């Protein structure tokens, strides 16, 4: 059977699983199973395929499927107009955003499986001892995609090899805990077999990346499934990840600037470009240039309510899809510079897009709430290239996140208030450094003071939740994931302890919204896949499965 270049070749198995068409892309050459997947060079290319699939989530209109469906339902942002189904928890199996992400995730899984299937057959390695590294990369990426699937859909089907017949694609739901076991197994192998770095090559997962993700998965299992022993595993792996060659950059804003990508704080990023606008991971499947559409998605456009106005480049280079909630706007402490890099507010510098490139100030009338996201978009660049896509990498794992996860594991696993406070205070100390850089003077003692050690575990947990919110706001849909796991751990109660963007969101929220509904188009082609996702059964609170909250039949 003929195969095209590795990124395209890896997608062929996905068409069987998803029953959907893979969009045409330019072929890079004709290869066969016998001539490709043989050498180190072949697998250098092939292992990029599951990475490059991430670009599909953030590319132009399809990026909206990711952000509309996975960033929106939280208390940090709200859709520009009320009653958006995703935002107010009117979720259904026909939701196109959820379907897009499900399909993309399984495409990433299958591309990793292609590498794992072909690697044992490769006979032309100059150094066969390098094979475990490529296996580790593929397993890391498979775990990444399955972690996305598991935390959003629960007991998802498990596919660990490329199907060779349609019948083999009819995989039913996995058993409770099964997909989480696979994720941990893959990440454990990856952490032991990935290199600590790749020299000048950027973008690939390292052993430290795998340790960080493994620790996060173990923390989730401790909280989702009431498995306290997992806290100790999370502590060990997160400690090892944080001990790598990383440091918090002095300027918080450097985590979101294109000029400071892949910096000392970063463990993993979506590689938008490298060199002369050539992507380090390849191209998307969507027939266009690589890049991310976050900035055009969030940059303000027009608010048509009373007194509303339009931002420069509205709609052409700013869709203004989401606004900052009042809850997030008020969450930052007085003087916290992280607010400046997260939120645009009245009269702040916006863009050099006035007459003769004069600086235009942000106008609160451009937004329903008076505030729009600034992260990755300060200052706004009216000349994004290409096709209005930003070439600024999205940061997926950075040291500040690892430190706060480690603090949480130590606090909840060991009750170690002092150790947890010390980790939180590392993050706050960097925020104080940023204050100095931004303002040219040291902050007053009252600004971002260290969290105290002489408090109860519950009190410190409240402070830690606050710190995660303001440090990681708007990043990779962290917030709703955090809210869900804290709810499942009994640390908060949804929706009572959260002020979502719209009152309807709090009114409509139900326990079934802890997970997404399985896409209807997947149910239609796979009779073994269950439409009803049983939620309470996952946390062991059901006497029998029929007692549990479920999505209604369509």
CATH code, 92: 1.25.40.390
CA distance 276 to 253: 24
The segments of the chain whose pLDDT lies below 50 read 1-28, 275-277, 533-554
| pLDDT at residue 279, rounded to an integer | 63
Q: 343 forms bridges with which residues in the sheet?
A: 373
What is the per-residue pLDDT for 386?
A: 61
Q: Is 72 part of a structural domain of the chain?
A: yes
Q: Which two tokens stand for residue 525?
A: 């082609």
State the total domains in the chain: 2
pLDDT at 31: 56
Domain holding 104, by residue range, is 2-247
Beta-strand runs (E) in 431-538: none
Q: What is the 3-state secondary structure (H, E, C) of 59-96?
A: CHHHHHHHHHHHCCCCCCEEECCCCCCCCCCCCCCCCH
d(CA 34, CA 1): 10
Rounded Cα distance, 338 and 253, in Å = 8
Please, what's the b/e burial string for 78-93 (b: 16 or more CB within 10 A of its CB; e: otherwise)?
A: bbbeeebbbbbbebeb
Give the per-residue pLDDT at 294: 87
| Domain termination site, one of 463, 487, 505 | 505
Maximum alpha-carbon separation in the chain: 69
CB 399 within 8 A of CB 242: yes
Please indicate, yes or no, if residue 437 is contained in any of the structural domains: yes
- Domain's final residue, options 247, 267, 293: 247
What is the predicted pLDDT for the residue at 355?
Answer: 87
How does pLDDT run across 492-513, given as a tens digit for each residue?
999 999 999 999 999 999 999 9
Look at residue 427 and tell me if it is in a domain.
Answer: yes
Residue that finishes a domain, picked among 227, 247, 267: 247
Q: Does residue 155 belong to any structural domain of this protein?
A: yes
Which pLDDT score is estimated for 465? 98
Q: Which of 321, 319, 318, 374 is nearest to 345 (CA)?
A: 374
Q: What is the pTM of this model?
A: 0.90
Helix ranges restricted to H, 194-344 = 207-224, 229-242, 294-298, 326-329
pLDDT tens-place string over residues 386-411 = 667 788 999 999 999 999 999 999 99
pLDDT of residue 387: 65
375: nearest Cα among 305, 435, 292, 439:
292
Phi, psi of 39 (to 5 degrees): -120, 170
Residue 517 lies in a domain: no
Q: Which of 222, 193, 261, 172 is nearest to 47 (CA)?
A: 193
Q: Is residue 255 part of a domain?
A: no
265 in a structural domain: no
Structure tokens at 86: 């995703």
Whether residue 150 lies inside any domain: the answer is: yes
pLDDT of the residue at 285: 76
Buried b or exposed e, range 399-427, using 16+ CB within 10 angstroms: bbbbbbbbbbbbbbbeebbebbbbbbbbb
């Amino acid at each position: 059977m003929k195969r095209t270049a590795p990124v395209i070749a890896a997608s062929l198995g996905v068409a069987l699983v998803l029953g959907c068409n893979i969009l045409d892309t330019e072929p890079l050459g004709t290869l066969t199973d016998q001539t490709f997947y043989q050498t180190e060079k072949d697998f250098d290319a092939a292992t990029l395929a599951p990475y490059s699939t991430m670009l599909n989530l953030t590319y132009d209109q399809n990026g909206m499927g990711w952000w509309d469906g996975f960033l929106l339902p939280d208390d940090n942002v709200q859709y520009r107009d009320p009653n958006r189904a995703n935002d107010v928890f009117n979720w259904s199996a026909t939701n196109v955003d959820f379907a897009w992400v499900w399909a993309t995730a399984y495409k990433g899984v299958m591309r990793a499986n292609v590498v794992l299937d072909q690697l044992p057959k490769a006979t032309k390695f100059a150094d066969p001892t390098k094979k475990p590294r490529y296996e580790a990369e593929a397993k890391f990426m498979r775990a990444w995609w399955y972690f996305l699937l598991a935390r959003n859909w629960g007991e998802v089907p498990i596919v660990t090899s490329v199907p060779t017949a349609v019948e083999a694609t009819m995989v039913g739901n996995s058993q409770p805990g099964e997909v989480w076991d696979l994720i941990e197994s893959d990440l454990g192998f990856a952490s032991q077999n990935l290199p600590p770095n790749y020299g000048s090559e950027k973008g690939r997962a390292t052993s430290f990346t795998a340790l960080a993700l493994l620790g996060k998965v173990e923390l989730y299992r401790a909280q989702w499934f009431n498995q306290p022993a997992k806290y100790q595993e999370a502590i060990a792996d997160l400690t090892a990840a944080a001990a790598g060659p990383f440091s918090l950059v002095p300027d918080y804003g450097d985590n979101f600037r294109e000029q400071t990508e892949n910096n000392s704080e970063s463990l993993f990023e979506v590689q938008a470009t490298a060199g002369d606008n050539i992507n380090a991971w390849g191209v998307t499947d969507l027939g266009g240039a690589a890049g991310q559409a976050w900035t055009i998605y969030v940059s303000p456009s027009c608010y048509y309510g009373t007194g509303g106005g339009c931002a420069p480049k509205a709609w052409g280079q700013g869709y203004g899809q989401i606004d900052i909630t009042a809850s997030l706007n008020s969450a930052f402490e007085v003087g916290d510079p992280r607010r400046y890099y997260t939120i645009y507010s009245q009269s702040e510098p916006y863009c050099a897009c006035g007459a003769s490139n004069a600086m235009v100030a942000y106008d609160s009338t451009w937004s329903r709430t008076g505030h729009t996201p600034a992260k990755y978009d300060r200052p706004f660049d009216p000349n994004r290239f290409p096709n209005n896509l930003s070439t600024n990498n999205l940061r997926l794992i950075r040291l500040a996140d690892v430190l706060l996860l480690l603090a949480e594991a130590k606090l909840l696993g060991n009750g170690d208030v002092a150790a947890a406070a010390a980790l939180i205070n590392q993050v706050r100390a960097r925020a104080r450094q940023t204050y100095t850089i931004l303002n040219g003077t040291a902050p007053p003692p009252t600004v971002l003071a260290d969290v105290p050690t002489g408090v109860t575990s519950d009190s410190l947990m409240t402070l830690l939740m606050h710190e995660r919110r303001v440090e990681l706001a708007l990043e990779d849909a962290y917030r709703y994931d955090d809210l869900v796991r804290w709810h499942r751990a009994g640390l908060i109660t949804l929706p009572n302890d959260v002020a979502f963007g719209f009152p309807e969101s709090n009114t409509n929220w139900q326990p079934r919204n802890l997970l997404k509904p399985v896409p209807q188009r997947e149910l239609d082609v796979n009779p073994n896949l269950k439409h009803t996702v049983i939620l309470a059964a996952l946390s062991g609170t059901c006497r029998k499965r029929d007692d549990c909250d479920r999505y209604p039949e369509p």
